[in-house]
Structures are given as C-alpha cells and as structure tokens.
C-alpha cells in the first residue's frame, strides 16, 4: 500500500524533531505536526526561558557585591515587560533555527493538532495524510488537583507571558522547579512565600544540599512555610487568599500570584495564578 509519508511524527519537541530529521537523513519521506512552538518544553517553557530569568535575577546581588571590590553603588530599576520581551524574542530566534533544520532535512511541517483516525491516517485541521509509521511524541501537561479555587490557576507556559510582575507570590511545592522559581522571583524583587508539605525542600536530594539551599533561601528573604498543604484559593479584591492547613493552626497567605507545582506522568510542571 502506498502512503503519503514513510514516517509521521506527532509532536515537534526534541524527540519528534530528532526522530523526524534522522529518518529523513536515511531517505524516508517524513512529516511532522506541531500546534505550538517548535522545540518542546526545554526550549519554550523550561530550561532556556527559565535560565534567562535566572540570569536576570542575579544582577541585584551582583550590584551589591561589586561595592566590596571598589565599585560605586549602582542605582537601577527592573522592567519586567522588557525582560519578558527579551526572553520571547530569544525563543522566536530558536524556533526559526528549528524550522530551518526541518526545511534543510526536507521534513514537511503541519501546523495544528493531529488526530489519529486509524493506524495509518492522521488528521491535522482540514488536512488528512497517511503514513506507514506514526510516532507519538506529544509530551505531557499539568494535572491540577481537585482544590476549590484551582480554576484561577494558569499553567507555567503563561509565566513567561505575564504582563506585570506579581509583587507577592506564593509557590506551593518544594521540588526543584518550585525552588528555582522562588529564587528567580525573589531575585527580581517579588515577595515570595513557598509552601511545602514536609520539613525541607527538594525531597530525594542530598540532605546537606537540601539544608544548605533552604537556609540560603531564607537568608535571602524567601519565607518557607513547612508541614503545610493547600486547602483553598479564594479570589478577592485585594488578591488571592491562599488557605493552608498544617494539622494545627490554619493560615491564610495573601498573594497576587500562586504557583502550584504538580507532577504528571512525564515531568514536573508549575502552574501560576
């Protein structure tokens, strides 16, 4: 039987693109479908944009430290929108590179969600194509817990598109992504409260590392509330009331944004309010 493609990849992340290009190098006719930016989580919603924000968050500390080496005090202000625009411009540049890589490999890109109609037929919008082999490389997405007020949350993708910097932010979860965002936002000047269910952050990591990082975070002004879990998020005129329970005394933390760290089958993600 004749097919439109020898291989069709559903998902334009690192796995889908690498597989598509490698197959094309061996002479296969390859198609790929992606509804969003090319490159997947690391390029668009993880490693690269987050590390750019980490880099930006280090400057206030470096300005202060420089005075100990003879530099005069630096008076500087932070522009959230300018940073976000710079981050997204870099992502656009990288996506252009991925597009050229596909073009040079003669991999045909279809923009949109792909649906399997049968073992050899894929539908992307109004287009139907067939393929001998179909690779599913769609990645994962956050699973929100069944907590009252969770409908106010947005996923981590939107963190890089927030129009304004939250002055007060609560991050719920002590995994490495939650810890990294807590440090980023603290460095950029937000008031940060991190809520964890245990005594220490970074469960599963080396004990000395956990202790040292938690102490350093608190020293830099991040408030870490231990042995607590989320009960309800209440939206008010003054912001978001985050209701916590620790088995003893309930607590309410008021914030402009709430980060909820969740784990799904594939990776840890962060949701934001």
pLDDT digits 0-9 by tens, 49-92: 999 999 999 999 999 999 999 999 999 999 999 999 999 999 99
Please report the domains of the chain, with CATH numbers, ordered by start residue: 5-136 (3.50.50.60), 150-272 (3.50.50.60)
- What 3-state DSSP class applies to 243? strand
| Alpha-carbon span 19 to 85, nearest angstrom | 31
For 159-202, the pLDDT digits (tens) are: 888 899 999 999 988 998 889 999 999 999 999 999 999 999 99
Separation between Cα atoms, residue 48 and residue 150, nearest integer Å? 27
CA distance 244 to 225: 10
Instruction: Burial-class residue 102 by CB neighbours within 10 Å (0-12, 13-18, 19+).
Output: buried
């Amino acid at each position: 039987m004749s097919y439109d493609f020898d291989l069709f990849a559903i998902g334009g992340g690192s796995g889908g693109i690498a597989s598509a290009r490698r197959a094309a190098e061996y002479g296969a006719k390859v198609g790929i479908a992606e509804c969003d930016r090319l490159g997947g989580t690391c390029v668009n919603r993880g490693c690269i944009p987050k590390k750019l924000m980490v880099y930006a968050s280090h400057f206030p500390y470096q300005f202060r430290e420089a005075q100990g080496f003879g530099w005069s005090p630096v008076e500087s202000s932070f522009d959230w929108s300018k940073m976000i625009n710079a981050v997204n411009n870099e992502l656009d540049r990288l996506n252009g590179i991925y597009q050229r890589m596909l073009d040079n490999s003669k991999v045909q890109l279809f923009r949109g969600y792909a649906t399997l109609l049968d073992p050899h037929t894929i539908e992307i919008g109004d287009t139907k194509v067939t393929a001998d082999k179909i690779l599913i490389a769609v990645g994962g997405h956050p699973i929100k817990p069944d907590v009252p007020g969770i409908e106010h949350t947005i996923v981590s993708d939107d963190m890089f598109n927030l129009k304004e910097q939250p002055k007060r932010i609560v991050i719920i979860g002590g995994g490495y992504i939650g810890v990294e965002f807590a440090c980023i936002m603290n460095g950029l000047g937000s008031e940060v409260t991190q809520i964890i269910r245990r005594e220490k952050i970074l469960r599963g990591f080396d004990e000395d590392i956990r202790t040292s990082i938690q102490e350093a975070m608190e020293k830099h002004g991040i408030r870490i509330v231990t042995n607590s879990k989320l009960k309800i998020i209440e939206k008010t005129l003054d912001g978001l009331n985050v209701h916590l329970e620790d088995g003893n005394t309930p607590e309410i933390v008021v914030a402009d944004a709430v980060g909820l760290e969740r784990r799904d089958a594939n990776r840890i993600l962060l949701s934001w309010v």
